[in-house]
Structure 1
Amino acid sequence: MNMSLFLKIIGIIFIIYLIIVFYVYSKQRSLLYVPNIDNYDDETLIIDVNEVFIENSDGNKLRSVFYESPKTTKNTLLMFHGNAGPIENRFYKLNKLSKYNQNILLISWRSYSDNEGSPTEQGLYDDAKSAIKWLQNKGYENEDIIVYGESLGTAVSIEMTQNKSFKGLILEAPFTSMVDAAKFHYPYLPVSWMLKDRYMSKDKIKNINTPLLIMHAKGDSIVPFWMGEKMYELAKEPKMNYFIDENEHLVTYDDELMKNMDNFYKLIGLNE
């Protein structure tokens, strides 16, 4: 092969690579946020909830459910779900977590669960702030609220709770940053400068002054386990972890998990 032909082939490969990079850059939010993919089975609620619509600053009404404990309490679990699927996918968690002396608010993001709007990092932060404001308008303070983030929702949870005093923080399958996650899934792309939504949780976790529980499956193929370990390592005390030997992205809600959840709720002084 002569040098001219070799350079021509290299040039063609480089142009194809640039086209791929440009395409991924232009479509990255539709690749990152997948509200219409439903990977989990819905579970029928065994508790009574009210469907509520929480308005964000863009005027989108976010479909949510609110469970009021039969016991009069200010303790409230605020749940931020992960990527993909509607809020019905998380009803099994409400069924389990309703045993504690707490109310529960589960919100859905803009564009998820048939909501209007387009998801972005700042947009999801705004949705979360709107949920906290909704609770505050009902008379709840930050000190009454346990924040629960799942996967993508962990980054939002950390943003909301850093440098503030909440009752507790639960992170399920947390990632260090979206940059690190993108490098894991797309090692052939220059994601460090491509990403618009970066979710730099590893830089914020040190600002968490709230009792913390991190849960992560060691065989997680979506958010690798080392990220959960790293987040735990970077976090301040008091903190607990539940690292389980299974190959799921989200940890299985079985008796062993609930024992660890019991211990965390004892840590924050909230019994059944």
Structure 2
Amino acid sequence: MMDKSKIFIILSYIFVIYISLLALIFIFQRSLMYFPVKEKISKSFYKNTQLKIIDISTSDGLILKSLYKKSETNINKTILVFHGNAGHIGHRVNKFKPFIDKGYGLLLLEYRGYGENKGKPSKLGLYKDGEAAINYLINQKIKSKNIIVYGESLGTAIATKLSTNYSFNMTILEAPFTSVADVAQKRYWIFPAKYLVLDDFDNLGIIKKIKSPLLLLHGYKDYVINIAFGKKSI
């Protein structure tokens, strides 16, 4: 039988390892949350689409290189896209090309720290990026009632936040989640992860305040954001 001193030593090692892993998760959590692809958005990503690179200025002095195409007069609707936490806007062009071909306007906003944009992504930073995109469209004489906001995964947090402040034509949330804290706790269940989250986008706390018609989309085979989080958002 193992004596008490050896048991204590083993438990001490386990405790130290546990605390060390917990500290690493806390320190590097944004690296575990945001997966930007840092590269220039070349023409090959958006050829044959009428999209063009534009500059969007944020309130804290950043320039966001994004993709934009004005709507045709017979449609008069512009889709504003907030993509997920990985990749960049070039990877979303094909997904929205059918809407471009139908005459819809499209603004694929690129976040700070993604693509060729400077800065580092964070909750407050992404909210500022979203607000800057709205201001850009307003400066293009596009009214909020003619904007369709489309949020994908992480982007649903930005879309949700903005939709509590503006009356859009529609808000579409693809793979929404209740909060980052909930997702983190499910993924890192052995740790008290929900208490350590710095960028806790609390969608559930504000989704009822959305002023626009709301459409939620989610897949049963979504292994990143479980559909259970989407159902709880209803």
Q: TM-score, normalised by structure 1?
A: 0.79
| Distance across 2 between alignment mates of 1:217 and 1:155 | 18
* Residues 45 and 92, structure 1, Cα contact 8 Å, conserved in 2: no
Deviations 1:241-263 (A, max 9, x none): xxxxxxxxxxxxxxxxxxxxxxx
Structure 1 runs not aligned, ≥5 long: 234-272
For each residue in 1:33-87, what CA deviation from the matched residue of structure 2 results, as whole angstroms up to 9, or x when unmatched? 110399xxx8654321121011112222111111123436542111111111121
CA contact (8 A) 1:86 1:108 kept: yes
Distance change >3 Å, CA 58–CA 37, structure 1 → 2: closer
Cα distance change on mapping 1:211 and 1:37 into 2, 3 Å: same
Contact 1:46–1:95 (CA under 8 A) maintained in structure 2: no
CA contact (8 A) 1:183 1:191 kept: yes
Counterpart of 2:105?
Answer: 103
- Supply the distance in 2 between the matched residues of 1:17 and 1:37 (Cα, whole angstroms): 33
Distance 1:97 1:202 in 2: 29
Match of 2:15 in 1: 14
Write out per-residue CA displacement over residues 174-207 of structure 1, whole angstroms, 9 at most, x where no aligned residue: 1111011111211112112110000000111111
Of 97-106 and 119-128, more deviation after overlay is shown by 97-106
Residue number in structure 2 paired with 1:173: 175
Cα–Cα, structure 1 residues 209 and 140, in superposed 2: closer, same or farther, change >3 Å? same
Alignment of 1:115-126 (within 5 A): 115-126=117-128
- Equivalent residues in 2 for 1:41-120 (5 A)? 45-71=47-73, 74-120=76-122
More RCO (CA 8 Å, sep 6+)? 2
Counterpart of 1:136 in structure 2 is 138
Which residue number corresponds to residue 145 of structure 1?
147
Distance 2:75 2:98 in 1: 18
Q: By how many angstroms is 1:101 displaced? A: 4.6
Provide the secondary structure at the position in 1 that maps to 2:28. helix
1:208 equivalent in structure 2 = 210
Name stretches of at least 5 consecutive residues in structure 2 with no aligned partner.
none
Q: CA RMSD in A?
A: 1.8
| SS class of match (1:126) | helix
Give the letter aligned to residue 210 of structure 2: I
Q: Which runs of 4+ in 1 moved over 6 A?
A: none
CA displacement 1:88-114 (0-9 Å, x = unmatched): 100112211224453111111001112
Shift of 1:121: 0.5
Structure 1 residue 223: deviation in Å?
0.3
- Paired position in structure 1 for 2:27: 26
Give the SS at the match of 2:112.
Answer: coil
For residues 101 and 231 of structure 2, the distance between their equivalents in structure 1, rounded to whole angstroms, comes to: 28
For residues 192 and 179 of structure 2, the distance between their equivalents in structure 1, rounded to whole angstroms, comes to 15
- Give the counterpart letter for 1:196 in structure 2: L
Does 1:5 find its partner at 2:14? no
Structure 2: distance between partners of 1:2 and 1:37: 55
3-state DSSP class of the match of 1:201? coil
Residue 169 of structure 1 aligns to a residue whose secondary structure is strand
**What residue in structure 1 maps to residue 197 of structure 2?**
195
Q: Using the alignment, how far apart are the partners of 1:94 and 1:164 within structure 2?
A: 23
Question: 3-state DSSP class of the match of 1:217?
Answer: coil
Number of residue equivalences? 229
Structure-2 separation of matches of 1:217 and 1:9: 44
Q: 1:45, 1:95 within 8 Å by CA — same for their partners in 2?
A: no
| One-letter amino acid of the counterpart of residue 172, structure 1 | E
Q: Distance in 2 between matches of 1:173 and 1:45?
A: 28
What residue is the counterpart of 1:218 in the other structure?
A: 220
